[in-house]
Amino acid sequence: MISEKMMKLTQNSSVIRAMFEEGIRLAAIYGRENVYDFSLGNPSFPAPDSVKDAVMEILDSRDPMFVHGYMSNAGYPEVREAIAASLNRRFGTSFGAGNILMTVGAAGSLNVILKTLLNPGDEVIAVSPFFVEYGNYVSNYDGVLKVVPADRTTFQLDTEAIGEAVTKKTKAVILNSPNNPTGVIYSEETLRKLAAVLEKKSEELGEPIYILSDEPYRELAYDGAVVPYIPNIYRNTFVCYSWSKSLSLPGERIGYLVIPSEADDAQLIFEAASIANRVNGCVNAPSLFQLVAAKCVDEKTDLFGYDTNRKLLYEGLEKCGFECTMPQGAFYLWMKTPVDDDTVFCETAKKYNILVVPGKSFACPGYVRIAYCVSKETIERSMPAFEKLAHEYGLK
């Protein structure tokens, strides 16, 4: 009775759902504090006070007809101006309101640009491991996701392999840096190499291959690491941003899409993307939170808590003998499983009340993702459990 596409999704989604329910089941038996649930990418620190202050100030000072009313499908011009100005200050770009389209989070942003670009059968390249939803987003528009593995040592881009995966159907490459699930930040050097590859391929094809830069974790970079701004490296780049992580507002669904004027057909794409935003059912990004985002656009994210967790977890796991990638950004730690089958490993981990997501879910078996957006205490308390798990696999 439901569509074939949704039937497939409904059957597949049960894996993640099962994990969610497993967490609840284990908590009921052992107590919430004795279950080490590292499965969810939900920010563990509250929105900064400036968010509440911004809401209060907007509601106190502005006309409710303006605050809660319809605006252009692309968003309030003043909000888009403020974001453009902030990006210009940070990255030396020269964006204006006409380059910024407000969206229902980065997920909305990715869907809007994919809907705008893809004809059925068009190909989009994703670098594995990658965020599970990319496949669903591309399939929404009957596109085909082509998976190219990242370098298996550094988890940086394998630019040569990406070049080889390009066909005459290739429309875009999705990048996600800082990366979910690896925590890796793509270096400027790698990105420049990719730009050269894509420029050459675009020329050969006679049509641009766009980069879709999915950047919800941009502000979460540790040890002073710099996250290169890809439109400055490759002009045919569209940026999909969200305040879900940087302002801890994942439920509010507020983000934007950048369409630089330097991109091919920028104006037509902007116009089409505004319409895509409307007809896909979003209509516009939520109005009050557009205004809030503009007020908080230069807010600094407090990384201290995540950074503490990151070090604690990495050191603890290394001490246990696990092989980990030190995260440079985001709030995920990527760990090699001591057995090939990551699903089996996750099952074993559950015996010790540890919940982590198998790499298979990110198209990269043999690893697990450990989300450290949890309390410091959860990490501390989980360590003896990880030690037992390591022991079971004969590590150290």
CA distance 308 to 65: 44
Please state the closest distance from residue 138 (CB atom) to its own copies, in A: 11
151 vs 271 by CB, closer to its own copies: 271
Name the region of 291 (left: φ>0; alpha: ψ -120 to 50; beta: rest): alpha
Please state the closest distance from residue 139 (CB atom) to its own copies, in A: 8
Please state the closest distance from residue 242 (CB atom) to its own copies, in A: 10
55 vs 233 by CB, closer to its own copies: 55
Please state the closest distance from residue 151 (CB atom) to its own copies, in A: 29
6 vs 29 by CB, closer to its own copies: 6
99 vs 328 by CB, closer to its own copies: 99
Please state the closest distance from residue 275 (CB atom) to its own copies, in A: 5
Tell me which long-range contacts 335-343 makes (C-beta under 8 A, separation of at least 24).
Answer: 335/367, 335/368, 335/369, 335/370, 336/366, 336/367, 337/366, 337/367, 337/368, 338/390, 338/393, 338/394, 338/395, 339/393, 340/365, 340/366, 341/365, 342/366, 342/367, 342/368
Please state the closest distance from residue 82 (CB atom) to its own copies, in A: 17
114 vs 370 by CB, closer to its own copies: 114
DSSP state of 221: B
Sign of CA dihedral 22, 27, 29, 34: positive
CA distances from 137 to 117, 143, 149, 237, 307 (A): 12, 9, 19, 18, 31
Helix (H, G, I), strand (E, B) or coil at 142: coil
Please state the closest distance from residue 376 (CB atom) to its own copies, in A: 16
31 vs 46 by CB, closer to its own copies: 46
Helix (H, G, I), strand (E, B) or coil at 367: strand
Q: Which of 312, 130, 391 is nearest to 324 (CA)?
A: 312
190 vs 236 by CB, closer to its own copies: 236
